[in-house]
Amino acid sequence: MLSDEAILALHHSPRSRWFVRFLTAYGYFGSNRFDEALAHVNVLLNNAGRERGLQTDIQEAVTLLNLMLHVTFGNHRLLRSLCHSALRRMQRENLLYSPVVIVETIRGYIGAPSPAKQKELLRRALGTMRSDKPAIAELYVDVDSWFESLITD
């Protein structure tokens, strides 16, 4: 795992450090090294309030990656709370439509009564997301491919 010291030495700006840590977490997620990914995501989430002027796009991407990790872990009880919190923050910050659709889809996915209903929900969300202009966070996180992988599993 990339050490905190190595990340801090890379750049001096908070945005650069956040971005490098996010890319590290996302790389671990893509390599199925979920525990390492979650460790980096937790550092980002725990320090979110301390970083003034940090752009919403990175915070939004970290939130989505956190939800994706907890779906992967099967933490459905925790996901209910995380989704509720994420939606509340996104609505308060007037974020674009697409991230809200993603979080609502994840919330519906964990509450769906069967795998068939889960897949139907994901297909509907993919259709909606592809017809919308992508949100900034979707430039960082490939939610479409992740939803498709959940459909094929």
Residues 138 and 146: beta-carbon distance below 8 Å? no
Closest C-alpha to 83, from 57, 110, 49, 61 = 110
In this structure, what is the dihedral angle of CA atoms 51, 79, 66, 34, given to the nearest 10 degrees? Answer: 140
- Taking only the tens place, the pLDDT of each residue in 103-125 is 889 999 999 999 999 999 999 98
Q: What pTM did the predictor assign?
A: 0.79
- Taking only the tens place, the pLDDT of each residue in 5-43 is 655 555 566 677 788 888 999 999 999 999 999 999 998
Q: Mean pLDDT, to the nearest integer, of 45-64?
A: 73
Least confident range of 47-51, 57-61, 117-121: 47-51
Give the pLDDT confidence score for residue 74 in this predicted structure. 92
Give the pLDDT confidence score for residue 10 in this predicted structure. 55
Give the pLDDT confidence score for residue 53 in this predicted structure. 53
Contacts 24+ apart (CB under 8 A), 72-80: 72/34, 73/34, 73/38, 76/110, 79/106, 79/107, 79/110, 80/107, 80/110, 80/111
Q: Give the residue with greater pLDDT, 44 vs 116.
A: 116
Query: What's the chain look like in SS3?
Result: CCCHHHHHHHCCCHHHHHHHHHHHHHHHHHCCCHHHHHHHHHHHHHCCCCCCCCCHHHHHHHHHHHHHHHHHHCCHHHHHHHHHHHHHHHHHCCCCHHHHHHHHHHHHHHHCCCHHHHHHHHHHHHHHHHHCCCCCHHHHCCHHHHHHHHHHC
Q: Mean pLDDT, to the nearest integer, of 49-53?
A: 59
What percentage of the chain has pLDDT greater than the value 90? 40
